[in-house]
Structure 1
Amino acid sequence: MSGVVVTGLAVAAPNGLGAANYWKAVLAGTLGIDRVSRYDVSAYPSRFAGEILDFDVAAHVPSRLIPQTDPVTKLAVAVADWAIADAGIELSALDSDTLGVTTSNASGGFDFTQREVQKLWTLGPDHVSAYQCFAWFYAVNTGQISIRNDLRGAGGSIVADQAGGLDAIGHARRLIRRGQRVSVAGGLEAPLNPYAFVAQIAHGRLSRAAAPDRAYLPFDAEAAGYVPGEGGALLILEDADSAAERGAPQIYGGIAGYGSSFDPHPDSGRGPTLERAVRAALADAGLEPGEVDVVFADAAGLPGLDAAEAETLAAVFGPHGVPVTAPKSTVGRLIAGGPPLDVATALLALRDQVIPPTVGTRAPAPGYELDLVLGAPRSAPLRTALVLARGFGGFNSALVLRR
């Protein structure tokens, strides 16, 4: 395999820490969504989320970083360590100027910020932590990962809501094709403290369901919003020749194609442009629609957005033309962490030749011409997977993976 390949991956999700635990949970349909447990949500109209409850910070994060960083950065530092270990790569033996990191995050350090703003309001500015100057920032995950691992090559941080998680991987691929040797790429989020949760409730897209197993139902007739979650995934991307030269212990797959688009204003009279992103990614990969074996859907969980995605898939692949799945139904939408988690899931699916199911959804809503994988995993010969993501405000991204 030539081009850019994935040699390591790591996951932190509400239903599993580490790729092996998460993958087992997804195949079993284990739900990581439940009532928010960290504070009283009885007065909130939305009460469910995908919380990570089994992450031992002290066991995975250097003690000096604990008071300096938000929960999302603690997760990012640990997940990066796990991904590097999974790739079996000795970074210190390589030229640090050829090593980079590109992450995506759309909510920043909400938890840290809420705490420091409360100090400012109640105690005064002298009580605000000096670390607030960077702990809140979208780019802090990239910075802390690069400092910890001496990654001095090109990188960055991308903010495009949900779609940014794919954009980060697409950007890292671009850097490797321009000469970088290794890149840590993906996204993490932790937007579940009261400040972050209320901010999401305000835009009106969160589910107000009464039970966790009926709260997030992508493509279902009863779909009425999504459930937020925390976590995500990081990948180790490498030049294929470089990976072969060092004897990488595994290659999960290749990043074959990437495309993006931006929707026009809703009042413009023009429609959404997800199809353009899909076709751009396929063209970049040199593939025809019929060569795609499975689609990991964006799966907004809202009737209008689900209908638009179903229409796009039918237009590109034909009615019921390709198996479609949304395993994020077990964890919620993780904003910029969700698409990298979908990419990791797709790579594991390619490895094991099985499509994980969409949990909770009973059947596609009338008019959705989808071959939606429901109920149980589906064994299938898988060579190529397409991962889709859409972000609030009109961002669309698509990524093609090859076994």
Structure 2
Amino acid sequence: MTGVVVTGLGVVAPTGSGADQFWAATLAGDSGVRPISRFDPAGYPVREAGEVREFDPTGLIDPRVVVQTDLWTQFALVATRQALDAAGLDPAAHDPFDIGVTTSASSGGNAFGQREIQALWAQGPRFVGPYQSIAWFYAASTGQISIAHNLRGPCAVLSTESAGGLDAVAHARTAIRGGCRVQVCGGTEAPVSPYALTCQLPSGLLAETGGYRPFARDAGGYLPGEGGAVLVLEDDEHAARRGAPALARVAGHAATFAGGDDWALSTEALTAAIRLALADAGVPAREVDVVFADAMGVPGADAAEVAALAATVGAVPVTAPKAGLGRAYSGTGALDVATAALALATGRIPPTPGVTGADLDHDLDLVTGRARDVPLRHALLLARGFGGFTSALVLSSPAHTDN
């Protein structure tokens, strides 16, 4: 089957914008989780988040588009430009029907929508702007990326909450195997606003005290984050003809579902996803060199993930850089894909911020403190979305071919 490789990536994250800045901060174990600054969180039980604080779309996005879009789509547009530049890909030099777009979305343009609803109730319907109908929409980023770069190949949006970032990459791989030569894919979120935070609180999964400390004995949930990543995927022959080096190969994927109220505690769904993804990749469990964990930070969910790993890949180095970013829902999986691709390209496993080996409540080789330098062949990425969406993705070093 057609091999699919990552040739470029763009990142907008609480720890930095652009792959170089983001990767340096990630290797250093820096954290972008701080007290919320965008609004007064005094009335909320959760008062910290991973905010993208220095983002300015001026000069990066057409001002006519800025007024039409929410922050989450602006993140996606900037990350897309970075990814295309990194891949050395000028869409204008290619058949527009050879390049498609796939993004994931969870919370959508909630801050934009909140402003318009406030205007409606305070001033009346004449004060609701015309872009309310599109800015909040979960497909807004796919549409705006496609319009901005005249990308007319297969386009899609997936909505599987925090599993969406991995699922979008898998869907893009399917599109490429179906004949589309290039896919721009990934996910971003901007869920740090009063309405968005209000919507997140009923889940009971957010940390109200103690921070985001996955796998720690005092873990009490996760903190929200924002930002995300966009990647350029190509069929390997197309990339080779362009002379574009690959950072990683998208080797395998599987998605399962754990329904019911106890979905986060399902070891079965994670175990099945891991085994199916490894089978899809043709990668034996013993050849997995690193796991980028879902790392929900909820004690029962963390225990389920540890059990699934023990049942499948055994004692493998595990990392969760998202602990220093906050959980950006569909953006988090895309950030993990970008991070794993950089890890495979450099042979470095970044640490898990804010957690030490002495904090662990599980028998787990969690990379903490300092980055670990090891040869990397295959990385396993895990993600779970609210309600039971479960996803596993296998990325491989470019030296390893697909099945």
TM-score range, shorter chain: over 0.9
Q: How does 1:187-198 map to 2 (within 5 A)?
A: 187-198=187-198
Report the CA distance between 1:358 and its aligned residue: 0.8
> What SS does the aligned partner of 2:326 have?
coil
Aligned residues of 2:267 and 2:305 also touching (Cα < 8 A): no
Once the 2 structures are TM-superposed, how far is the Cα of residue 208 of structure 1 from its aligned partner?
A: 1.1
Superimposed CA distance per residue, residues 173-210 of structure 1 (whole angstroms, 9 cap, x where no aligned partner): 0000011010001100000011001211222111112x
Deviations 1:17-70 (A, max 9, x none): 111101111111111000001111112111000000111111211111111110
State whether residues 50 and 331 of structure 1, in contact with CA within 8 Å, keep that contact through their aligned partners in structure 2: yes
Q: Partners in 2 of 1:206 and 1:341 — Cα distance?
A: 20
Shift of 1:365: 6.6
User: Which residue in 1 is equivalent to 2:400?
Assistant: none
Residue type matched to 1:398 in 2? A
Q: Normalising by structure 2, what TM-score?
A: 0.96
> 1:256 aligns to what?
251
Whether the aligned pair in 2 keeps the contact of 1:264 and 1:272 (CA below 8 Å) is: no
Q: Partner of 1:59: helix, strand, or coil?
A: coil
Are residue 118 (structure 1) and residue 113 (structure 2) matched?
Answer: no
- The counterpart of 1:348, out of the listed 322, 342, 351, is 342
Give the superposition deviation at 1:287. 1.0
Q: What is residue 140 of structure 1 aligned with on the other side?
A: 140
Whether the aligned pair in 1 keeps the contact of 2:112 and 2:135 (CA below 8 Å) is yes
**Stretches of structure 2 lacking an aligned partner (at least 5 in a row):** 398-403
Give 1:369 deviation, angstroms. 2.4
1:215-294 correspondence to structure 2 within 5 Å: 215-248=211-244, 250-266=245-261, 272-294=268-290
CA distance in 1, matches of 2:133, 2:262: 38
2:387 corresponds to 1:393:
yes
Take 2:353 and 2:61, find their aligned partners in 1: how far apart are those partners?
33
Distance 1:177 1:369 in 2: 39
* Residues 368-391 of structure 1: per-residue CA shift (max 9 Å, x gap): 221111111111111110111000
Give the C-alpha shift of residue 364 in structure 1. Answer: 7.2
Whether 1:372 and 2:383 are equivalent positions in the alignment is no
Q: Say if 2:304 is the partner of 1:308.
A: yes
Percent identity of equivalent pairs: 52
Structure 2 partner of 1:323: 317
Which secondary structure state, in structure 2, belongs to the residue aligned with residue 258 of structure 1? strand
- Matched residues in 2 for 1:152 and 1:74: separation? 20
Scaled by the length of structure 1, the TM-score of the pair is 0.96
What's the CA shift for 1:265? Answer: 2.0
Alignment-derived partner of residue 3 in structure 1: 3
- 3-state SS in 2 of match to 1:374: coil
Report the more deviating stretch, 361-370 or 67-76: 361-370
* Alpha-carbon distance between aligned partners in 2 of 1:17 and 1:255, rounded to the nearest angstrom: 24
Measure the CA separation in 2 of the matches of 1:207 and 1:264: 23
- The 3-state SS of whatever aligns with 1:401 is strand
State the partner residue of 2:68.
68
What CA RMSD, in Å, does the superposition of the two structures yield over aligned residues?
A: 1.6
Pick which of 50-59 and 393-402 moved more. 50-59
| Cα contact 2:261–2:387 (8 A) shared by 1 | no
The answer to whether the 8 A contact 2:266-2:304 is kept is: no
The match for 2:105 is: 105
1:310-354: per-residue Cα shift (whole Å, max 9, x none)?
A: 000011022xx1100001111111100001100110111111111
Partner Cα separation in structure 2 for residue 193 and residue 366 of structure 1: 32
Deviations 1:280-304 (A, max 9, x none): 1100000110010000000000101
Deviations 1:193-247 (A, max 9, x none): 11001211222111112xxxx4000100010010100001000000000111111
| Cα distance in 2 for residues equivalent to 1:106 and 1:273 | 21
Aligned equivalents of 2:294 and 2:227: distance in 1?
Answer: 17
AA partner of residue 260 (structure 1)? A
**How far apart, CA to CA, are the structure 1 residues paired with 2:288 and 2:44?**
42
**Residues 270 and 37 (structure 1 numbering): CA distance in 2 closer, same or farther, change over 3 Å?**
closer
Q: Given the superposition, is the C-alpha separation of residues 270 and 116 from structure 1 closer, same or farther in structure 2, using an over 3 Å criterion?
A: closer
Residue 59 and residue 306 in structure 1: after superposition, are their counterparts in 2 closer, same or farther (change >3 A)? same
Distance 1:143 1:196, change over 3 A: same
| Structure 1 position 179 matched with structure 2 position 175 | no
How many Å separate the matches in 2 of 1:72 and 1:232?
A: 9
Secondary structure at the aligned position of 2:7 is classed as strand
